[in-house]
Amino acid sequence: MQMKAMTTNYQGDSVFNTRLLSYLNRKPKKVHHIQSSVYLISFEKGHPMILKGFDSFEKWDRQRELTSLLKQKGFHQTYYIHQNLMPFQFKGKWYGSMDYFPPNKKKFKFSNHKDRLEGIQLLESFHDVSEHLSINAPAFNQSKKWKERLSLFKKNFSYVRQYVSEDIIKEWIRWGEWSLEGFDKNQSLWNKEKKVIIHGDCAHHNFLRRADGTLTVIDFDLMANAPRCIDYLQYANRISHHLEDAATELWEVPQLQRYQSDLAFLYALTYPTDIFREWNRLNKSSSQLHSVWKMSVEGFSERMEMNEKLAKRISSLNRN
């Protein structure tokens, strides 16, 4: 990710400047804007730090508690939120600081087989620790979230139709409805899994390789109390586009093997969550239009092939 100097904003916004200086209790050498409300702050002496804006004090406090407990339990493959500095509020955000990890030149990629296996192994290690933590994290309702996403996509039908044929749009919707119906009938199977603190957003950019080669997991904004299969489902959805035959190759991943006969998991894999999510975002900002169009149209046949194979597997399991 390319960083740009924030000289103008930093010097020009006197309120932010004053609150930042008061928070740090020392003058920073440089303030670099990374993205959104995330900044890299360096000093003449001492280690640099990340300053991040959280949506609420509660979210900051929850992640502070999580990273502190993870560190106490010996899980060091994430950052540590600084507890000695209470966050300051600015324009609806609560700004707190955390460790900065100099990144490795070789970025983590789902397209890399070794990275895919290492990433889900890291998730498993995180879950193995987080299942023993007592944190007041919000409950996660996958069905509710997906129903809301599908409903919004339907409302955006006329917008999507400007770029994608009605037949393709209707087919995506059909799979969404079919998947949700089957998932709702079978999600009780997931109650057998012990709940853990899940990450909640298993995108590639939330896996950061440090300069020393250590892979870390970052950004717990969507952490929740749920079965670990929620994270594994997200991960499977993310990596499936990088597999030649996802309906078969997913089960070669050790952490996913236990779900190859789990009806709820199989139905959920056919839900076009990325299609609905990205088009719903595009209706607000069209900056990624071409890539989303390619995913929806050029990737249509491949996704339909994967879904049909999964549907056959589901049908076979339902007969047994």
**Is 35 or 8 the better-scoring residue by pLDDT?**
35
If one counts the domains in the chain, the total is 2
Residues 145 and 284 grouped into a single domain:
yes
pLDDT digits (tens, 9 = 90+) for 77-122: 999 999 989 999 999 999 999 999 999 999 999 999 999 999 999 9
Please indicate, yes or no, whether residues 229 and 273 belong to a single structural domain of this protein: yes
Mean pLDDT of 224-250: 96
Which residue is listed with tokens 């407990």? Answer: 69
> Which residues in 19-46 are b (16+ Cβ under 10 Å) and which e?
ebeebbeeebeebbbbeebbbbbeeeee
User: What pTM value is reported for the model?
Assistant: 0.92
pLDDT of residue 8: 34
The residue-averaged pLDDT of 247-273 equals 97
Q: What is the reported pLDDT for 6?
A: 36
| 169 lies in the same domain as 243 | yes
Q: Residue 189's closest CA among 96, 275, 134, 268? A: 268
**pLDDT value, residue 14:** 83
Contact in structure between 304 and 170 (CB atoms under 8 Å): no
pLDDT at 155 over 90: yes
SS3 content of the chain, % helix, strand, coil (to 5): 55, 15, 30
Is 31 a domain residue?
yes
Query: Is 60 exceeded by the pLDDT of residue 10?
Result: no
CATH number at residue 41: 3.30.200.20
- According to DSSP H, which parts of 104-190 are helical? 113-130, 142-155, 157-160, 166-186
Q: Which residue has the tokens 């540590």?
A: 80
Tokens at residue 189, please?
């199977």
Is residue 106 assigned to a domain?
A: no
Measured CA to CA in angstroms, residue 291 lies from 144, 225, 279, 296 at distances of: 27, 33, 11, 9
pLDDT of residue 319: 87
pLDDT over 60 (residue 7):
no
Question: Are residue 117 and residue 71 in the same domain, yes or no?
Answer: no
pLDDT at 254: 97
pLDDT at 190: 82
pLDDT in tens, 197-218: 999 999 999 999 999 999 999 9
For the cut 90, the answer to whether the pLDDT of residue 9 exceeds it is no
The pLDDT, as a whole number, for residue 28 is: 93
Average pLDDT over residues 56-71: 96
**Can you name the residues that pair with 40 across neighbouring β-strands?**
32, 50
The residue range of the domain holding 86 is 4-99
Q: Which of 10-14, 65-69, 273-277 is predicted with the least confidence, judged by mean pLDDT? A: 10-14
Residue at 107 is within a domain: no
CATH (domain of 269): 3.90.1200.10
Strand runs labelled E in the chain: 4-5, 30-35, 38-42, 49-54, 88-90, 93-99, 195-198, 207-209, 215-217, 224-227
Q: What is the pLDDT of residue 3?
A: 36
What rounded mean pLDDT belongs to the chain?
A: 93
Q: Which of 40-44, 189-193, 224-228, 305-309 has the lowest mean pLDDT?
A: 189-193
Q: How does pLDDT run across 24-56, given as a tens digit for each residue? A: 999 999 999 998 899 999 999 999 999 999 999
Average pLDDT over residues 131-151: 95
